[in-house]
């Protein structure tokens, strides 16, 4: 979202980005060293407040804007104020989980009517959004979009990174982690970068699987087949499976080959990416540009990611694709020993050109075109649905009080 705001502000639009609840390392100011060119407004809002806060209050805050874009519970907020979302950016669970939450009887004196109300607002907020900005996503997310019955226009999502900010490579040296990255670089002949949330194994939801353990096994293979080369991996203490990853590293005797960094600002990671040899993205789902792909490609590094598809599809991908552990082992070994070859360097530059054309210009053109549309076709539908939800919540509360009196 922040990067879309930058691009639109560049074109003269008056843009305001609301931060409802955001992690520090995803904060827009953590993405670059340059000042923001759009308005930033902190607006803490618990999800239950989307339902319990008065419609007038929400409408007074978000209603005056001509064009609404958003992520997470933005579709529910838009529906609540009777305005469909012009562009919905999916963050995964806001599409695969939020619209399908069910209210239920709970222990004690709580009946979660608000949960159902919020889920319905999210469901119909997505259904009647004008556009969804989403790249190829894991099947649970793609299937959720089908189940919702979204009929709007779909176009690619802009990268998480604003590419223009990294054209000047001198800015990389402003990283607060520069000395730490330089020290790690001096220790290894072959250095790999893996800035992906650690989520893998049977106790991880399918939507969040990243396949990090596959990289650890590939690192073990690379170490065993790199003669006297010193092999290293930089990764981050981020995700619910960090502990499991560390256990696997210990089991394979790779502790001297892996360097862990704490979660920090995205801008400070960029210098580290600039000095490594190979970058590895997610290794479970068929994805193209999500996760840290844009960060790697912005600095024209060779990227390995997971993808299972036809040979024709594989040729069009903007990364070195693997679809099995053996393929990953061999591809990592090959790239690590052929880094100076023109074919590898040319491929990395090709990835960058692809990202600019497919994931910057095309979605921006789609938004530019949509900004010119004046008629809000879904307004009446949104208003009727909002009235229905008000009645539903009122009836649920009456029934709940009745049941309490019967206890």
- pLDDT tens by residue, 211-227: 999 999 999 999 999 98
pLDDT digits (tens, 9 = 90+) for 262-319: 988 889 999 999 999 999 999 998 887 766 888 898 899 999 999 988 888 877 788 9
* Other beta carbons within 10 Å of 42: 10
Give the rounded distance of the alpha carbon of 266 from its chain centre.
13
Confidence (pLDDT) at 394:
73
Confidence (pLDDT) at 395:
74
Confidence (pLDDT) at 314:
79
* Other beta carbons within 10 Å of 348: 22
Confidence (pLDDT) at 108:
37
8 pLDDT exceeds 70? yes
Higher pLDDT, 349 or 332: 332
Closest by CA position to 280, among listed 326, 345, 214, 357:
214
Higher pLDDT, 272 or 101: 272
Q: Which residues contact 101 (CB under 8 A, 6 or more apart)?
A: 115, 116, 118, 119
How confident is the model over 238-263, as a mean pLDDT?
A: 96
Are 51 and 81 in contact, with CB atoms under 8 Å apart?
A: no
Q: Map out the domains of the chain with their CATH numbers.
A: 2-160+364-406 (3.40.50), 172-355 (3.40.50.2000)
Query: Which sign, positive or negative, has the C-alpha torsion 341, 343, 348, 350?
Result: positive
Confidence (pLDDT) at 106:
41
| Burial label, 370 (beta-carbon count in 10 A; 0-12, 13-18, 19+) | middle
- What's the CA gap between 177 and 307, in Å, rounded? 32
Confidence (pLDDT) at 186:
97
Q: Pick from 60-64, 386-390, 396-400 the range whose average pLDDT is largest.
A: 60-64
378 pLDDT exceeds 80? no
pTM for the model: 0.80
- What's the CA gap between 322 and 286, in Å, rounded? 10
244 pLDDT exceeds 50? yes
Phi and psi dihedrals of 405, rounded to 5? -65, -25
pLDDT bucket at 102, cuts 50 / 70 / 90: low
Confidence (pLDDT) at 393:
66
- What's the CA gap between 171 and 123, in Å, rounded? 42
């Amino acid at each position: 979202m922040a990067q879309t705001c930058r691009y639109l502000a560049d074109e003269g639009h008056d843009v305001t980005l609301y931060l409802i609840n955001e992690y520090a390392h995803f904060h827009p100011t953590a993405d670059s060293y340059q000042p923001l060119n759009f308005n930033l407004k902190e607006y803490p809002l618990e999800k239950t407040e989307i339902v319990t806060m008065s419609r007038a209050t929400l409408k007074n805050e978000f209603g005056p804007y001509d064009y609404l874009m958003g992520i997470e519970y933005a579709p529910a907020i838009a529906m609540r104020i009777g305005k469909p979302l012009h562009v919905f950016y999916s963050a995964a669970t806001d599409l695969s989980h939020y619209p399908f939450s069910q209210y239920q009887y709970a222990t004690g004196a709580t009946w979660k009517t608000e949960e159902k109300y919020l889920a319905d607002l999210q469901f119909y907020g997505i259904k009647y959004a004008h556009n969804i900005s989403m790249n190829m996503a894991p099947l649970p997310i793609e299937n959720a979009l089908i189940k919702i019955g979204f009929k709007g226009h779909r176009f690619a999502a802009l990268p998480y990174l604003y590419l223009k900010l990294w054209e000047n490579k001198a800015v990389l040296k402003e990283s607060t982690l520069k000395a730490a990255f330089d020290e790690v670089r001096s220790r290894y002949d072959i250095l790999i970068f893996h800035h992906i949330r650690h989520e893998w194994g049977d106790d991880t939801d399918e939507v969040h699987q990243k396949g990090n353990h596959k990289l650890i096994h590939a690192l073990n293979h690379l170490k065993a087949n790199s003669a006297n080369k010193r092999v290293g991996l930089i990764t981050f203490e981020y995700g619910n499976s960090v502990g499991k990853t560390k256990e696997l590293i210990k089991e394979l005797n790779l502790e001297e080959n892996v360097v862990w960094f704490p979660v920090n600002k995205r801008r400070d990671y960029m210098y580290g990416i600039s000095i490594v040899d190979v970058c590895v993205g997610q290794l479970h789902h068929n994805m193209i540009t999500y996760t840290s792909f844009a960060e790697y490609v912005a600095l024209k590094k060779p990227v390995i990611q997971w993808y299972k598809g036809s040979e024709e599809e594989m040729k069009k991908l903007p990364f070195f694709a693997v679809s099995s552990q053996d393929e990953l082992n061999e591809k990592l070994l090959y790239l690590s020993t052929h880094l100076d070859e023109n074919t590898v360097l040319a491929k990395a530059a090709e990835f960058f050109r692809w990202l600019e054309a497919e994931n910057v210009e095309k979605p921006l053109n789609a938004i530019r075109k949509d900004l010119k549309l004046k008629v809000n076709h879904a307004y009446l539908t949104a208003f009727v649905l909002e009235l229905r939800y008000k009645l539903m919540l009122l009836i649920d509360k009456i029934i709940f009080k009745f049941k309490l009196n019967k206890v």
